[in-house]
Amino acid sequence: MRWLLAAVVAVAQNWPQAAGPNGTWAVQGPAPVDRWSVAAHQNIMWKTPLPNGGQSGIAVWGGRLYLTTFAEGEKTFSSKVVGHAVDAKTGRILWSVPLDGVEPSPMLYAFSDSTTPSPVTDGKRVWFFNASGAMGCWTADGKLVWKRSYRPWGKPFPFNKQHEPMLIDGTILNVEPLDGGAKPGWNYLRAIDAATGKTKWIAEDATTTYNTARAGRGPDGKWAVLHGRGGWHDVPETPVGLSLARARDGKNHWRFVAGDGVTQAPDWQALYVMHFDERYAYWFGFVPEERHLVLDVKTGKPLREQSLIRGVDYRRWEDGAYKLYANVNLRELRTMPTAYPLAAGEVMRVLPSWHTNIVASGYHYFLTTAGHRRLRKGRAGPAYCVGRVAIETGKVEYLELPVAPGVYGRPGEDADAERGGCGCGGRGAFPHGRLRDRSVLRHSDRGEQAAVLYEHARRDLCDRLDGEGAGRFGDFGRERFGAHRRDVEPEFDGLRKRCAVPSQRAGTGCDSMRRRALLGIPGALHAQYEESKGEVPWVPTPDEVTGAAMRLAGCGPRDVVYDLGSGDGRVLVYTAKHFGARCVGVEIEGHRVAEARAAARAAGLASKIRFVEKSFYDVPVREASIVFLYLYTAVMAKLKPKLLRELKPGARIVAYQFNGMGEWKPDETVTRFDHPVYLWRVPAKRL
């Protein structure tokens, strides 16, 4: 059962769409709700069961809430969503409408899914969206006005759609591919007549679906939209860079081309909310070093850059108080205590967390990612921080946020474990650092002054600690934070079971971070998907995929099956039970290994399955006759030499969804849940 909850808070104005009444993700207004607790039922007005989970934001108008969930009974993968109208005072669902798409998504995928786009309303009508390829308009009492469908981009790209629909002067702006399959993989801003559902225009320049475009007033004082291109997975839209488009016809005011216009992640990434104002547009760059970019909003010309590394102020929480490291170079911080120690030859690199940035009150705020090694020759940091850049002076500051042991990191876990070993069964493909690093910002309220983004993080942590011992920040980093640090894992387990609806984007954040604080919806910290200290995060592999992979490999009782990145062990438990094979799981996360061993014991298969807590790069696989992989393409490419070197001729490699074997073509391929399952047989003559 999924739940919708409402906290006690006065609504000062309507919130008609994801980016708010001004389209800027921020608004001036009264102080927000300061504290609530689901566990203690503190400041919770009502709780309403929902038919399924969903990741949309919530539109608010005239005492009604509009949101989207998956249809009842849908599991794992689906393209069937339902739009709901809810009474804000009582929590009663007033009406619901189906909106089926055409391209199924993983349900509650950590970045986005079919339910991700937030509804839009003008009080008289409401528009619901399905990122699987549908949208529609209904009256305020639930009568259909129109529907339309389209085919969104699909494989080989992951289901990662970060655009939020916008209503501007009677026009809905969505991001979709071109009609008729032209330019496969390319996506464009598309203007839809809000009254009829007919296309009015398609933007001059393309935009990646990883980008969150933002509306505002352009150089001519009329509505404009800033959007961008450039990301991971070799998304095709070029030239990499930004475009400021006129909202009336999609034509450009200007285009900024980043670098050579072709090179993208990790050098150039449009995975941010594209903020701009009456003077400037803002972005981040990562080569030759991490920096903040300020462009002239009238021309798109770069005005200045500011290093995110050199001359920064870094406030760390040490021994119960903040310690200021003033005007430091983060590259030189090697000996100070950190959650993620640097290995020999490594330096700290700053990667602002995607979709967690917002511009307000003269600052550009963002969260930092932590621990991963996504940027070249370095490890992400500073850990657990909110950062800000002073727009005019360029001063950069970082403030470490308190982290509760047992919630965002397990006591005693080895934060410096070698990367690798967090794969299938396992893990899918998410490019962030650990979920624990980002989840402290899960409960921001779009309705507040966004300049207090760090205050929202404090509120969220207060809620997660059940309101105990929380103090207030004053000016940025000046005040002490006295939150009681304790292991709250048992309470969180109970909370997760009671409230499985994930929280949502906080007016700035990723799609798994989107529910408004107004409604007090808690995040599921250890929900279906979890990021980790390995190279890929944890994503459950459906049993149907496991069965298809093992049948493709011809698995039987004489086989030895290795799962590299075995997660909670479900792939191997299924394989041992249904195919009789002897199994070995390799997993870098200790708590996942413990779960896997418990699952094997519960199934009576402990004698047939062995789990190794190590990086899969360090575990020999010579005895394996079958190796199962659910890993990033790049990780598979790194593993390929090891597999060819150690596996015997005739051994089989099966992989779900991603093909990292380069020119080594698969011998067979089948499809499950609209994604491929590949089979390679190791040749006698090495490639």
Query: Which residues form the domain of 625?
Result: 543-681
Q: Which of 140, 155, 170 is the last residue of a domain?
A: 155
Write down the pLDDT at residue 611.
Answer: 96
Write down the pLDDT at residue 41.
Answer: 72
Write down the pLDDT at residue 405.
Answer: 45
With contact defined as beta carbons under 8 Å apart, do 427 and 632 qualify? no
Query: Distance (Å, rounded) from C-alpha 434 to C-alpha 408?
Result: 9
Residue 647 lies inside a defined structural domain of this protein: yes
On the 0-12 / 13-18 / 19+ scale of CB atoms within 10 A, 497 is exposed
With contact defined as beta carbons under 8 Å apart, do 679 and 574 qualify? no
Write down the pLDDT at residue 530.
Answer: 36
In which residue are the tokens 């986005």 written?
112
Residue 420 lies inside a defined structural domain of this protein: no
With contact defined as beta carbons under 8 Å apart, do 356 and 367 qualify? yes
Residue 236 lies inside a defined structural domain of this protein: no
Beta strands in 362-479 (DSSP E): 363-367, 378-380, 385-390, 396-400
Of residues 99, 91, 139, the one with CA closest to residue 115? 99
Write down the pLDDT at residue 3.
Answer: 67
Residue 300 lies inside a defined structural domain of this protein: no
Please tell me the total count of domains within the chain: 2
Write down the pLDDT at residue 425.
Answer: 30
Write down the pLDDT at residue 313.
Answer: 96
Query: Distance (Å, rounded) from C-alpha 433 to C-alpha 454?
Result: 19
With contact defined as beta carbons under 8 Å apart, do 152 and 547 qualify? no
Residue 451 lies inside a defined structural domain of this protein: no
**CATH number, domain with residue 9:** 2.40.10.480
Write down the pLDDT at residue 257.
Answer: 97
Q: Which of 101, 133, 155 is the last residue of a domain?
A: 155
Q: Give percent helix, percent strand, percent coil of the chain, each to the nearest 5.
A: 15, 30, 55
Write down the pLDDT at residue 578.
Answer: 94
Residue 9 lies inside a defined structural domain of this protein: yes
Cα–Cα distances in Å, from 194 out to 127, 128, 207? 8, 12, 21
**CATH number, domain with residue 666:** 3.40.50.150
Peptide bond into 341 cis (omega under 30): no
Write down the pLDDT at residue 592.
Answer: 86
Residue 94 lies inside a defined structural domain of this protein: yes
Q: Which of 89, 122, 155 is the last residue of a domain?
A: 155
Query: Distance (Å, rounded) from C-alpha 230 to C-alpha 238?
Result: 8
Give me 643's structure tokens. 């597999």
Residue 340 lies inside a defined structural domain of this protein: no
Write down the pLDDT at residue 373.
Answer: 81
What average pLDDT values come out for the chain (687 residues) when binned by 10 residues?
56 81 82 70 84 93 95 92 95 96 88 94 97 97 97 80 94 95 93 98 96 95 96 92 97 97 92 96 94 97 96 89 92 72 85 92 92 81 92 94 51 32 27 26 26 34 32 29 29 32 30 27 28 57 90 95 94 95 93 91 94 93 96 88 94 93 93 85 79
Of residues 316, 320, 315, 290, the one with CA closest to residue 305? 290
